[in-house]
Amino acid sequence: SSTTAVTSYGQRVYTLDSTGNTIWRWNASGVTLNAPANYLKTPLDLSKAVALAIDASVYIGINDGRLIKLLSGQVEPWNAATIDPPLTSISHLWTSAEATSLVVSDPANKRVVLFNKDGSLAKQISSPAFESPSAAWVDTAKNQLFILDAGRVLRVDLSSS
């Protein structure tokens, strides 16, 4: 197995195994995790999957720019809005049950893209100062986006951007 990404939701931990073409779900029991169970109900080609986020639905980022949404281990019909330029390299995804967006790091295009949960575009954030924004997450209480970019963390106020 080859763990490519990890995230948690409630008392569970999810790991993306791109070599094994699966997502493993681990249930927490006290301070330990029980044996993992295969989350997927139908086979998927995850060999190029690189990122994972969860808010009740599970989102998978593929390194060619595709996004897949799952619910209860099955693919859900969900299409991210067409954007210009299109996503070409996803390095990180982030969302939470409290968040209104799925945050996508697109280092090849030097930007972070926020999609609403219905797949529509919320906003694209780019800057000439970006070198390679490899990860991003939101402080939902303060409505601030944090971006990991070339060894530094940048902050963007989402209420004014």
DSSP classification of residue 107:
G
Phi (first) and psi of residue 107, to 5 degrees: -65, -30
Please report, for residues 66, 78, 79, the alpha-carbon distance to residue 83 in angstroms, rounded to integers and kept in the order given: 12, 15, 12
For residue 29, pLDDT over 90 is answered with no
SS3 state of residue 147: strand
Query: Residue 1 has what pLDDT?
Result: 60
Q: Which class for 11: exposed (0-12), middle (13-18), buried (19 or more C-beta within 10 A)?
A: exposed
Instruction: Give the mean pLDDT of 121-147.
Output: 95
In this prediction, residue 52 has a pLDDT band, given cuts at 50, 70 and 90, of very high
For residue 129, pLDDT over 70 is answered with yes
Query: Residue 10 has what pLDDT?
Result: 87
For residue 22, pLDDT over 90 is answered with yes
In this prediction, residue 2 has a pLDDT band, given cuts at 50, 70 and 90, of confident
In this prediction, residue 93 has a pLDDT band, given cuts at 50, 70 and 90, of very high
For residue 136, pLDDT over 70 is answered with yes
Instruction: Give the mean pLDDT of 123-135.
Output: 94
For residue 114, pLDDT over 80 is answered with yes
Q: Is the pTM of this model over 0.85?
A: yes
For residue 78, pLDDT over 80 is answered with yes
Q: How many helices (H) and strands (E) does the chain have?
A: 0, 16
**What does the mean pLDDT of the chain come to?**
93
In this prediction, residue 153 has a pLDDT band, given cuts at 50, 70 and 90, of very high
Instruction: Name the helix (H) or strand (E) containing 138.
Output: strand 133-139
In this prediction, residue 83 has a pLDDT band, given cuts at 50, 70 and 90, of very high
SS3 state of residue 109: helix
For residue 115, pLDDT over 90 is answered with yes
SS3 state of residue 141: coil
d(CA 132, CA 152): 10
d(CA 51, CA 59): 8
